[in-house]
């Protein structure tokens, strides 16, 4: 049942929001330890929200466009009075005094926030193995990762723990886990959804987006949470057209771009599903065109200078003084060092050091400055490609879900998981992963649909057509 149907049934009184919530809560309890999708289940808060929706319906009031829909929130989104940890020991005991904008929007829309999901610490990772609270497991095969960094959110939707979930995408952290868990994941245009209340990793790259079981559900979620927010200086100051309204328009006459100089590395089973996707769109009236994005191949290199540099600045605030973990020491400087040593995990420390080095005197121009120039090249190459094609199709992940522990000792191998997702973040463009059949071991394969700035309507038309081709 899609979330539009859920909303219709709740609003009509045919089913109670509280009943739907209790069903989800029971399912979470049955697999809580096995999957470890959540850091914190908001049982009391969610039950109260569900009862409020039912009371609004009984009064004849409109409970909102997401009435009764259960939503899991990545644990880097501020929720007032609820632990928000970013899966890091350094935020131990912190309960935000305010809600992030997306959290507030969900509350007023009648959605039921059911819990805070596990993630790679401070959203740094591609497998959700970097959490201070232990890894999340893929519900489809618990010996394998769910992807990352939003692995808990992807697993929640894949396991049926929540109708939908929200994640954040800095270099693929929504799309890659969506592909590995067989769900839909969307990174909208930078500024499409407010980042106010999202704990920052890399501020020029972070973007919030949904995980859902269908393209239609993703469209409805973005229609609700998207839009201008004066509390976010990077929020796009204009209204967005309805994405739900375009889903049935098909792809007749659209140009679908095949990137001929795409970096190699995708497994044969993944590449095969991509070719099937091209064939399906061609059969529905689209034209397949060859394009080049020469700077695509430099995305990984530029990202791992820009993102750590911004992270080293953003994470400087976690010093044991104002909130979170504090390790007592002989003097203030010793306390800073001891707190950060105990509070941050290995991957976060690695990226802080890398970013600090890239920004240091004597190396700024050689590393960070040059990476910014490469970022501009990537943006410009994409713009030229979108003059020839309306959307581009690539693999989302180079492989299906891999086994837990198989890449933990090789950071570069883990970073390569984001080869196909990172360039879109650097350009600020939208992208989404659509589950498109299975590959090795019967595990899901995701096809990535990319589009230009604010071209979400076209992107969703293509995604919906891909989804229908499998029906």
User: In what order do the strands lie in the sheet containing 38-41?
Assistant: 38-41, 112-117, 70-74, 164-168, 208-212, 184-187, 431-438, 444-451, 391-395, 255-259, 287-291
Of 88, 126, 149, 194, catalytic = 149
Question: Which pLDDT belongs to residue 411?
Answer: 87
Contact 424, 187 (CB under 8 A): yes
Q: Please, where are the H alpha helices in 193-298? A: 215-225, 268-283
* Burial of 260 per CB tally in 10 Å (0-12, 13-18, 19+): exposed
Closest to 150 in 3D by CA, of 117, 106, 186, 192: 117
Question: Which pLDDT belongs to residue 412?
Answer: 87
Return the DSSP state at 463.
H
Is 74 catalytic? The answer is yes
Which residues is 117 bridged to in the sheet? 38, 74
Of 104, 126, 162, 173, catalytic = 173
CATH entry 3.30.70.980 includes domain 3-245: no
Q: What is the mean pLDDT of each run of 10 residues along the chain (471 residues)?
A: 96 97 97 98 98 98 98 98 98 95 98 98 98 98 98 98 98 98 98 98 98 98 98 96 98 98 96 98 98 96 97 96 93 96 97 96 93 97 98 98 93 93 98 98 98 98 97 81
The residues near 219 (Cβ < 8 Å, ≥ 6 apart) are: 243, 244, 246, 247, 460, 464
Compute the residue count for the chain. 471
Question: Which pLDDT belongs to residue 94?
Answer: 95
Of 11, 74, 107, 407, catalytic = 74
The residues near 252 (Cβ < 8 Å, ≥ 6 apart) are: 284, 285, 286
Question: Which pLDDT belongs to residue 385?
Answer: 98
Q: Which residue has the tokens 């999957």?
A: 35
Which sign, positive or negative, has the C-alpha torsion 41, 42, 48, 53? negative
CA distances from 119 to 236, 268, 413 (A): 27, 29, 19
Q: Which residue has the tokens 């050689």?
A: 366
Question: Which pLDDT belongs to residue 408?
Answer: 83
> pLDDT for 351-397, tens place per residue?
999 999 999 988 999 999 999 999 999 999 999 999 999 999 999 99
Q: Please, where are the H alpha helices in 133-285? A: 151-159, 175-181, 215-225, 268-283
Measured at the alpha carbon of residue 79, what is the angle toward residues 203 and 346, in degrees to the nearest 5?
Answer: 55
Q: Alpha-carbon distance 432 to 445, whole Å?
A: 13
- The strand ranges marked E within 234-349 are 255-259, 287-291
Helix (H, G, I), strand (E, B) or coil at 305: helix
Pairing of strands 208-212, 444-451: unpaired
Q: Alpha-carbon distance 112 to 49, whole Å?
A: 6
Radius of gyration of the chain (CA): 21
């Amino acid at each position: 049942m899609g979330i539009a149907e859920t909303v219709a049934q709740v609003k009509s009184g045919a089913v109670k929001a509280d009943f739907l919530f209790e069903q989800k809560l029971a399912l979470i309890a049955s697999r809580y330890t096995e999957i470890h999708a959540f850091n914190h289940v908001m049982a009391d808060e969610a039950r109260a929200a569900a009862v409020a929706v039912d009371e609004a319906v009984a009064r004849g009031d409109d409970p909102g466009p997401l009435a009764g829909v259960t939503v899991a929130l990545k644990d880097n989104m501020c929720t007032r009075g609820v632990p928000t940890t970013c899966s890091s020991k350094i935020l131990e005991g912190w309960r935000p005094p305010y809600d992030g904008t997306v959290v507030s929007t969900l509350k007023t829309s009648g959605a039921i926030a059911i819990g805070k999901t596990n993630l790679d610490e401070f959203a740094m990772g591609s497998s959700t193995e970097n959490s201070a609270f232990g890894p999340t497991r893929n519900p489809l095969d618990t010996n394998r990762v769910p992807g990352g960094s939003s692995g808990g959110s992807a697993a929640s939707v894949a396991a049926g723990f929540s109708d939908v979930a929200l994640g954040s995408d800095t270099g693929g952290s929504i799309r890659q886990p969506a592909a590995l868990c067989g769900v839909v994941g969307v990174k909208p245009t930078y500024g499409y959804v407010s980042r106010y209340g999202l704990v920052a990793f890399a501020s020029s790259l972070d973007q919030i987006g949904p995980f859902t079981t269908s393209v239609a559900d993703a469209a409805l979620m973005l229609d609700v949470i998207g839009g201008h927010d004066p509390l976010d200086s990077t929020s796009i100051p204009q209204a967005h057209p309805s994405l739900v309204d375009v889903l049935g328009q098909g792809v007749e006459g659209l140009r679908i771009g095949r990137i001929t100089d795409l970096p190699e590395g995708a497994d044969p089973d993944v590449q095969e599903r991509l070719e099937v996707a091209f064939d399906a769109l061609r059969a529905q009236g689209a034209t397949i065109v060859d394009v080049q994005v020469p700077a695509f191949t430099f995305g990984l290199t530029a990202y791992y200078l820009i993102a750590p540099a911004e992270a080293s600045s953003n994470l400087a605030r976690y010093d044991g003084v104002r909130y979170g973990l504090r390790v007592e020491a002989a003097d203030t400087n010793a306390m800073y060092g001891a707190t950060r040593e105990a509070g941050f995990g290995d991957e976060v420390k690695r990226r802080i050091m890398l970013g600090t080095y890239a920004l240091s005197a004597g190396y700024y121009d050689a590393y960070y400055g040059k990476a910014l120039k490469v970022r501009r090249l990537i943006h410009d190459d994409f713009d030229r490609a979108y003059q020839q094609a309306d959307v581009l199709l690539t693999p989302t992940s180079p492989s299906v879900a891999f086994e837990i522990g198989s890449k933990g000792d090789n950071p570069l191998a883990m970073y390569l998981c984001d080869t196909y997702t990172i360039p879109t973040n650097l350009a600020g463009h939208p992208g989404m992963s659509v589950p498109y059949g299975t590959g090795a071991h019967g595990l899901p394969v995701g096809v990535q649909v990319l589009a230009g700035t604010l071209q979400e309507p076209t992107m969703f038309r293509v995604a919906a057509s891909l989804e229908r081709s499998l029906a």
